[in-house]
Structure 1
Amino acid sequence: MRSVTSFLLLVLLLVGLASATIHFQETFEDGWKDKWVVSKWKQDEGTAGKFAHTAGKWYGDAENKGIQTSQDARFYAISAKFPAFSNEGKDLVVQYTVKNENKVDCGGSYIKLLPATVDQENFNGDSEYNIMFGPDVCGAQKRIHVIFNYKGKNYLIKKEINKVETDQLTHQYTLIVKPDNTYKVLVDNKEAQSGSLAEDWEMLAPKTIKDPNASKPEDWVNDKEIDDPEDVKPENYDDIPATIVDPDATKPDDWNEEDDGEWEAPVIANPEFKGAWKAKKIPNPAYKGEWVHPLVDNPEYQDDKNLYLYKNIGAVGFELWQVKSGSIFDNILIADSEEDATAFSEKNFESIQEGEKKMFEEIEEKRKAEEKQKLEDEKKKQEEAAAAEKEQHSDHEHSEADEEQELIKTQTGNKDEVKPPKAAKKVDHDEL
């Protein structure tokens, strides 16, 4: 019996693997341009950026190239089509890698899953899409977008996904949408978020709403505490002044009333003063608690078991604005199997991580050493310039002194010994 059960499980596994489909994969090898169309968007305005085909400045494999944004403060739009499909009844996996070589400080690095009807030559920020997914950074705000188009309107995930990698190495982002209306977001194959499409997006109207026919009763008591009616203000409480004359102050010995006026001692805060009197608070016996608006079923709510479903997926693209360029996109996979995504990741992403990191660290170490040497050379250059200027100034002073001595010799006719002239006698005005 066990052997039969094991055989059936094996058959089901094989059938499942056989039915798995990779709809699109791209590692940007030779010939990649034949599949991709660069949009004309923003070209007339001169703000359309160009993609470069490169592995970047550091890499785990020089042949593992992607497309890189190459110009700062530019719009980028590029897309590729594939045979249209529906994800009905199947998982939908969207996966790709991005490396921000220049540390993006404001710009998107997300991918868009597009309907087959997309106009590739005019693909732009207003073009309809099915899903927008990936990191977006602008200043201190860093988040992973997951936006679904539902009945013609785009809905952003309510949860925060802050697992945005901001170093300069390659990172992989994976979105898995399941036919039971659940999802997972992975970053470098580790789960960053998961949940329900119905709960984490506002695609559906809320199940319940505040009862429009209910309102807080007019006699509802909101105050938790009241003044203690037995607490009475003490007699003469209001007679206590806020300030008093400083008892330690004395008139200065040099005070002159004719010049300084009548002396008055300064005032200080009265330690006996307690401020305006307030009665003590006690629990309000009439308090009923915070009034809660009762909820009723929302007549506009309608469940949808197909929130996950897109019937005409046929393209993928990048539509971006980047202040600082240098992002390399690569290793794109659109499939219906997590196993295929894992295998694709192992081959094209995980295999390069260690080598890329090692090369990056070597380049960084060299860069820091060069910067340090540059600073030391600049400091040495400044010190040498300062020393040369000081020496030049000293030589100039000696030269002026020699010229003065020669002039005195010429005027006195004494070429053997020259004495400095005597100071002129000071003459008082009375002697003139």
Structure 2
Amino acid sequence: MMLLKVIALLLAIGCLNAEVYFEEKFENDNWKTEWIYSKHPGKEFGKFVHSAGSFYNDADLDKGIQTSQDARFYALSNKFDGFSNKGKPLVVQFSVKHEQNIDCGGGYVKLFDCSLDQTDMHGESPYEIMFGPDICGPGTKKVHVILSYKGKNHLINKDIRCKDDVYTHFYTLIVKPDNTYEVLIDNEKVESGNLEDDWDFLAPKKIKDPNAKKPEDWDDKATIPDPDDKKPEDWDKPEHIPDPDASKPEDWDDEMDGEWEPPMVDNPDYKGEWQAKQLDNPNYKGAWEHPEIDNPEYSADDNLYLRNEICTVGFDLWQVKSGTIFDNVLITDDIELASKVAAEVKNTQAGEKKVKELQDEVQRKKDEEESKKNADKDDEDDDDDDDNTESKQETEDNGHDEL
């Protein structure tokens, strides 16, 4: 009983120590003053608008910031009190809704240190983490997980597919102090592993021994030609022969057309290039494997997970077709809190689908009515054309009668 109380106390202490570094639900218009647009020269930037989109579960709660102009760069950021995730999990979570059925564009966030000049944020600005979906045509539908290490950006070595429908989806990245990570979509784990294994942060532990060479007498041929196998004397036949059924055309003139030659056809007796039968090689030693040695340039790092300073979150992306809604941004060390927030996505999606199905049905009926109107108008036009034709014919006939 005492042990259970101690465990409960430790869990309570852990909850008390959990921190929310940044949270943004875009519930009102405060974001217009708290978030800063970049003014980096040479870029044509688009504007965000406060909207729940054209279909939603809750008109107020589902409001986020929506890209509003096609073929634009977007660069918007928010600075908060800086923190380090030393010894703690780092959770980055937000929701994305591509209700425009996006064809090409980013849907990710970036986390920066405190040195970022928000009014000059652009694609080359150094960042700590880039995370979220990226879609461009049928070939690119991935979740980016890019981490900075010693000033260089490193992409994850795994291919994580993102959602590509028109509904809201939550994306969650968890980086733990034991150098492991998880990626979740809609609160379900889609990828996980070890930072050292899945990113090229460090030099490889092993390298091929530069002093090792395959022995000259190493035989790596599994089979050899049978030395006793001889090519048959009647083997060699031409691949093509003159067509035996062809005959010289009757109107062929040798002086004018030259000497007639029958066209060539495939030779049914052609057997191809002769090759001796293969036998197992008695001297076969298998494929030679280059021996490896410890890489002197490898150095382990227990702090691959560590971000010494994070204090800015930003949307820095390009979209061909606008309409994406970003919402529910959460940066914390509380994994349970993030999971609880993301769990609401099922209700959000159910509401969105219900409203969209009703809208689609209304649109379908409208299209049917419009199509019927157009068909009726075409019939009326055809009738008018027939009447005009008959009237013209009557006029011509009357004219002939008078003559």
* Alignment map for 1:222-301 (pairs within 5 Å): 222-238=220-236, 240-242=237-239, 249=245, 269-301=266-298
The alpha carbon displacement at 1:267 in A equals: 6.8
Q: What secondary structure, in the 3-state scheme, does the structure 1 residue paired with 2:215 have?
A: coil
Q: Which letter maps to 1:291? A: W
Contact kept? 1:251, 1:263, Cα under 8 Å? no
- Percent identity, please: 49
Q: Which letter maps to 2:225? A: D
Q: Cα deviations across residues 307-347 of structure 1 (Å, max 9, x unaligned)?
A: 00011110111001000100000000000011111222345
Mapped to 1, the partners of 2:144 and 2:186 lie a distance apart of 16
What corresponds to 1:310 in structure 2?
307
Distance change (3 Å), C-alpha of 1:389 and 1:220 = same
Distance change (3 Å), C-alpha of 1:122 and 1:268 = closer
Contact kept? 1:37, 1:78, Cα under 8 Å? yes
What corresponds to 2:332 in structure 1?
335
Between 384-393 and 172-181, report the one with greater CA deviation: 384-393
Contact kept? 1:223, 1:287, Cα under 8 Å? yes
The alpha carbon displacement at 1:133 in A equals: 0.3
Matched, 1:145 2:141: no
Mapped to 2, the partners of 1:227 and 1:404 lie a distance apart of 97
What corresponds to 1:127 in structure 2?
125
What corresponds to 1:397 in structure 2?
393
Matched, 1:385 2:381: yes
Between 51-60 and 256-265, report the one with greater CA deviation: 256-265
Mapped to 1, the partners of 2:317 and 2:14 lie a distance apart of 37
The alpha carbon displacement at 1:377 in A equals: 2.1
Q: Cα deviations across residues 59-88 of structure 1 (Å, max 9, x unaligned)?
A: 111112100000000000001111111101
Mapped to 2, the partners of 1:304 and 1:251 lie a distance apart of 83
Distance change (3 Å), C-alpha of 1:237 and 1:356 = closer
Mapped to 2, the partners of 1:232 and 1:147 lie a distance apart of 62
Q: Which letter maps to 1:203? A: F
Mapped to 2, the partners of 1:21 and 1:366 lie a distance apart of 46
Distance change (3 Å), C-alpha of 1:151 and 1:395 = same
The alpha carbon displacement at 1:265 in A equals: 7.9
Between 360-369 and 104-113, report the one with greater CA deviation: 360-369
For structure 1, the residue ranges without an aligned partner over 5 or more in a row are 409-432
Q: Cα deviations across residues 73-115 of structure 1 (Å, max 9, x unaligned)?
A: 0000001111111101111000000111111111100011111
Mapped to 2, the partners of 1:386 and 1:189 lie a distance apart of 59
Contact kept? 1:207, 1:301, Cα under 8 Å? yes
Between 355-364 and 87-96, report the one with greater CA deviation: 355-364
The alpha carbon displacement at 1:127 in A equals: 1.0
Mapped to 1, the partners of 2:25 and 2:400 lie a distance apart of 82
Between 390-399 and 172-181, report the one with greater CA deviation: 390-399
Matched, 1:54 2:67: no
Q: What secondary structure, in the 3-state scheme, does the structure 2 residue paired with 1:237 have?
A: coil
Distance change (3 Å), C-alpha of 1:312 and 1:398 = same
TM-score norm. by structure 1 comes to 0.86
Distance change (3 Å), C-alpha of 1:262 and 1:256 = farther
Mapped to 1, the partners of 2:258 and 2:202 lie a distance apart of 82
Q: What secondary structure, in the 3-state scheme, does the structure 1 residue paired with 2:111 have?
A: strand
Distance change (3 Å), C-alpha of 1:396 and 1:11 = same
Q: Which letter maps to 1:397? A: Q
Mapped to 2, the partners of 1:363 and 1:278 lie a distance apart of 70
Q: What secondary structure, in the 3-state scheme, does the structure 2 residue paired with 1:25 have?
A: strand
Distance change (3 Å), C-alpha of 1:54 and 1:256 = closer
2:349 alignment partner, one of 334, 353, 358: 353
Q: Pairwise CA RMSD of aligned residues?
A: 2.4
Q: How many residues align?
A: 398
Q: Which letter maps to 1:168? A: V
Mapped to 2, the partners of 1:265 and 1:332 lie a distance apart of 79
Mapped to 1, the partners of 2:342 and 2:241 lie a distance apart of 80
* Alignment map for 1:159-238 (pairs within 5 Å): 159-162=158-161, 164-238=162-236
Mapped to 1, the partners of 2:16 and 2:331 lie a distance apart of 17
Distance change (3 Å), C-alpha of 1:98 and 1:236 = closer
The alpha carbon displacement at 1:375 in A equals: 2.4
Q: Which letter maps to 1:399? A: T
Q: Which letter maps to 2:123? A: G
1:103 alignment partner, one of 93, 101, 104: 101
The alpha carbon displacement at 1:351 in A equals: 4.1
Between 67-76 and 211-220, report the one with greater CA deviation: 211-220
What corresponds to 2:40 in structure 1?
41
What corresponds to 1:78 in structure 2?
76
The alpha carbon displacement at 1:222 in A equals: 3.2
Q: What secondary structure, in the 3-state scheme, does the structure 2 residue paired with 1:204 have?
A: coil
